[in-house]
Copies of this chain bind each other. A is one copy, B any other.
Amino acid sequence: MANEDLTQIFDTIEYPEAYRITYLANAIVFPAYSAIKKDFGLVRAEYILLACLSHFDALTAQDVARISRRPRNTISRAVHRMLDDGYLDRAPDPDDGRQARLRITASGRDLHFRISEYLRRRQDEVLGTLSKEERATLSALMKKAALNAAQLDE
């Protein structure tokens, strides 16, 4: 094929919005993810964990699983590795013996900051063709849909 247009599928696919969303997600995340893995040795669940804990004071592993839509065992493993590496702290919840409250450490926060750069940079590349107004519109509409999605499965 080669000289046929590989992007025609954006219009012909049966689920155009879903396709474009996942395409954009892949376009942003895959390159950033590879670089993060290569430069920091982190797998996806690990930096998701960092991102969550950077933005909430204390979370249980279950919270993180819910926020990120990943299975609990994946998060559990990430927690252990990050604990070993000193990127987070864990304290048993005094009110509920089943759960433990996770907090990010200073070095975890620092690591997350460095990792965010990769994602932010790639995001800006991919969205670079949009005007300021277009980008703001896109962002607002995505937030509206994302809030709806969050509510859908609670």
Given A14-B116, A18-B123, A24-B149, output 17 extra A-B contacts at Cβ < 8 Å.
Answer: A1-B57, A2-B63, A4-B56, A10-B143, A11-B143, A12-B55, A17-B123, A17-B138, A20-B139, A20-B146, A21-B21, A25-B26, A27-B150, A27-B152, A126-B152, A127-B145, A130-B141
B52 contacts A9, C-beta separation under 8 Å: yes
* A residues lining the B interface (CB < 8 Å): 1-2, 4, 6-18, 20-31, 51-52, 55-60, 63, 66-69, 113, 116, 119-120, 122-123, 125-130, 134-135, 137-139, 141-150, 152-153
Chain A interface secondary structure, helix, strand, loop or mixed? helix
Which 9 residue pairs of A and B lie closest in terms of their CB atoms, listed nearest first?
A: A25-B25, A27-B149, A18-B123, A14-B116, A129-B148, A20-B142, A138-B141, A15-B120, A15-B119
Sample of 18 A–B contacts (CB below 8 Å): A1-B57, A6-B66, A10-B143, A11-B143, A13-B55, A14-B113, A17-B123, A17-B135, A17-B139, A17-B142, A20-B142, A20-B146, A22-B25, A25-B25, A126-B145, A126-B148, A129-B145, A134-B144
Chain B residues, Cβ within 8 Å of A9: 51-52, 55-56, 67
This protein's copies in its complex: 2
A2 contact set on B, CB distance < 8 A: 63
Q: Are the CB atoms of B15 and A25 closer together than 8 Å?
A: no
When distances are taken between beta carbons in the complex, the residues of chain B under 8 Å from A55 are 8-9, 12-13
